[in-house]
């Protein structure tokens, strides 16, 4: 059972997660256009992860007896000054998402909605990982600024990233 306020807030966060997928896909397109295929893979994998996050919100809202509502998604920023600029923007976006998750958790606590708190716990932990991985790549890119060879090596490293769906995320018609 979800209150209308909590249901609205969960739907808003579902939109934020799907927007994140759209944003990282736009960043992948930027890297493709810059002939940096490894970073493009990194961002494509990130976009797929964000789709699963949106899916998890969709599942939870429905299972909790609520109504999933798909809001309009803004066009993401597609042009960037450099690979470093991309990760700086992306990290700021993740800080925004963390803030939204924390506020959602505050709301679930205020309403004593324990099921929503347990559901959100996964995202609280996930955001720590998200900030760490974007932050690390930003630091590495700072280190290779102006060093084309270093950038290509980082691109190769970024290209080894693979997609693994979160444990427990299943879609069944049963």
Q: Which residues bind ligand FEO (CB under 6 A)?
A: 17, 20, 50, 53, 94, 97, 130
- For ligand FEO, give the closer residue by CB, 25 or 53: 53
Nearer to ligand FEO, 97 or 151 (CB): 97
Residue closer to ligand FEO by CB (options 130, 155) is: 130
**Least CB distance from residue 116 to ligand FEO, whole Å?**
17
Q: Give the three-class secondary structure for 136.
A: helix
Q: What are phi and psi of 105, to 5 degrees?
A: -60, -40
- Closest separation between CB of residue 20 and ligand FEO, Å? 5
**Nearest to ligand FEO by Cβ — which residue?**
53
Q: Give residue for tokens 């069944």.
A: 172
3-class state of residue 50 by DSSP: helix
In angstroms, what is the minimal distance from the CB of 88 to ligand FEO? 15
Give the nearer residue to ligand FEO in terms of CB position, either 6 or 43. Answer: 43
Residue whose structure tokens are 């559901």: 119
Helix 114-143 / helix 83-110 crossing angle, nearest 10 deg = 160
Q: How far apart are CA 86 and CA 89, in angstroms?
A: 5
């Amino acid at each position: 059972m979800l209150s209308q306020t909590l249901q609205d807030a969960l739907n808003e966060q579902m939109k934020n997660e799907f927007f994140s997928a759209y944003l990282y896909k736009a960043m992948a397109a930027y890297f493709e256009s810059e002939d940096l295929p490894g970073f493009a893979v990194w961002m494509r994998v990130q976009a797929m992860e964000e789709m699963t996050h949106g899916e998890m919100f969709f599942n939870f809202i429905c299972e909790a007896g609520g109504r999933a509502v798909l809001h309009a998604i803004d066009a993401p920023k597609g042009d960037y000054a450099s690979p470093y600029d991309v990760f700086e923007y992306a990290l700021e976006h993740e800080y925004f998402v963390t803030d939204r998750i924390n506020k959602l958790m505050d709301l679930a606590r205020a309403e004593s909605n324990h099921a929503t708190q347990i559901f959100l716990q996964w995202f609280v932990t996930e955001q720590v990982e998200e900030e760490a991985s974007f932050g690390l790549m930003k630091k590495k890119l700072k280190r290779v600024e102006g060093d084309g060879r270093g950038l290509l090596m980082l691109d190769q490293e970024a290209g080894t990233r693979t997609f693994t769906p979160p444990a427990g995320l299943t879609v069944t018609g049963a």
